[in-house]
Amino acid sequence: MSSIWGKNIRISIFGESHGKAIGVTIDGLPSGLLLDMDKIESLMKQRAPGRTPWSTPRKEDDKVDIISGMNKGYTAGTPLTGLIYSNNTKSSDYEKTKNIIRPSHADYTGHIRYKGHNIVSGGGHFSGRLTSPLVFAGAVAMQILAEKGISIEARIYSIGGIADDEINYCREFTSAQIADSNFPTVSEIKKEQMINHIMQCRENKDSAGGVIEIAVNSLPAGIGSPIFDNLESNIASILFAIPAVKGVEFGAGFDIADKKGSEANDEYEIKEGKIVTKTNNNGGILGGISNGMPVFARCAIKPTPSISAKQNSVDIDLMENAELEIKGRHDPCIVPRAIPVAKAAVALAVLDTYLSQAEI
């Protein structure tokens, strides 16, 4: 099963980059939720290309047409399907080189997996464009979470090795800490440095990667389960569904492995009548279950594989070495546009986990 996710709320994503439409069906939504279409569109716009110097100039509207499951602005409770119609496709750019597999893309693996029958134009079902319906679904999930007081925020943690400023992980991370939702960092200075790095990469026909940090605020303690259905597994399983993600960590993440227990352990104390931890190296999750502290996850985004510089590759039809020059309009750095995608993914994972503890 490739494109269905979730246990309690279930999303089914379909479509190919250059097909007539891509979309998502969300099954298991409560009825009577008033959908705030402005908020949904606002999140989708953050993902849409063509709006900033550091993204591809390719324009896509990414307007969602809800064809089922909505009744006078409210969720009907039955499957909600949103379609995003395609426009502005330039297949020709892709056609020319389609036998020469692009390094670090899914051209080769998709070809083997589907025995040459997969749709390759624009990346087909593997395209980053398929994160657009994911953002839509996540935006809906966020509205349900918001009713419970839970919010999801994210920032650019680093790009090309340039790290944003440290934050206090015992406090909630709020949008007030971010000046620019299109390039969300805490530090203005670091933002400039990151943008400079991206622009330089573009100039050099190269690309940049980075790390995104996502915070879940006000998640009550007790959400998640031991062993398999834990909050970390659920979040990781959907974050790794975002193309280009090569790592996921929580709290201190990989750095915790270098620490000693006495440094890593988050000691408890009572503060204003509530049990809190003095540090948050575990990122708000213990034994797979939220502990009431802010949840922090990070995911590593590899540099955009599509670079304009000449690369070595292979022609899979001729089965011989070949050189490749990728034309087309590509993001020198996908990290800023991946921010709403990561938020959407985490929102869906948190909601699905939360729902597994719903009671009759």
The rounded distance, in Å, linking the Cα atoms of 90 and 122 is 8
Could you give the count of Cα atoms lying within 13 Å of 284 in the half-sphere of its Cβ? 29
Closer CB to its own copies, 176 or 312, in the complex: 312
Nearer to its own copies, 77 or 328 (CB): 77
Contact 338, 242 (CB under 8 A): yes
Instruction: Indicate left, alpha or beta for 2 from its phi (over 0: left) and psi (-120 to 50: alpha).
Output: alpha
Q: In whole angstroms, how close is the CB of 10 to its own copies at the nearest point?
A: 6
Which CB, 42 or 78, lies closer to its own copies? 78
CB 180, min distance to its own copies, A: 20
Residue 124 CB, nearest approach to its own copies (Å): 7
Give the integer Cα–Cα distance in Å for 330 and 94. Answer: 12
Q: Count other Cβ atoms within 10 Å, centred on residue 115.
A: 7
Tokens of 340: 């709403």
Q: How far apart are CA 338 and CA 336, in angstroms?
A: 5
- Rg, Å, the chain Cα set: 21
In the complex, the smallest distance separating the C-beta of residue 234 from its own copies, rounded to whole angstroms, is 8
User: Toward its own copies, which CB reaches closer, 175 or 220?
Assistant: 220
Question: Nearer to its own copies by C-beta: 42 or 218?
Answer: 218
Q: Which is nearer to its own copies, 80 or 140 (CB)?
A: 80
Q: Which two tokens stand for residue 312?
A: 């070595």
Nearest-angstrom CA–CA distance, 49 and 40: 16
Q: Which of these, 75, 183, 138, 82, lies nearest to 350 by C-alpha position?
A: 138
Shortest distance, CB of residue 22 to its own copies, whole angstroms? 7
Please report the DSSP string for 126-144 in residue order: GSGGGHHHHHHHHHHHHHH
3-class DSSP state of 246: strand
**CA–CA separation, 281 and 20 (whole Å):** 46
Distance of closest approach, residue 327 Cβ to its own copies, in angstroms? 15
25 or 46: CB nearest its own copies: 25
Smallest distance from its own copies to CB 265, Å:
4
Residue 170 vs 314, nearer CB to its own copies: 314
Minimum CB distance to its own copies smaller for 176 or for 319: 319
* Shortest reach from residue 333's CB to its own copies, in Å: 9
- Shortest separation between residue 176's beta carbon and its own copies, angstroms: 26
- Joined together, the tokens standing for residue 111 give 């070809």
Report which secondary-structure segment, H or E, holds 107: helix 107-113
Q: For the chain, what's the residue count?
A: 360
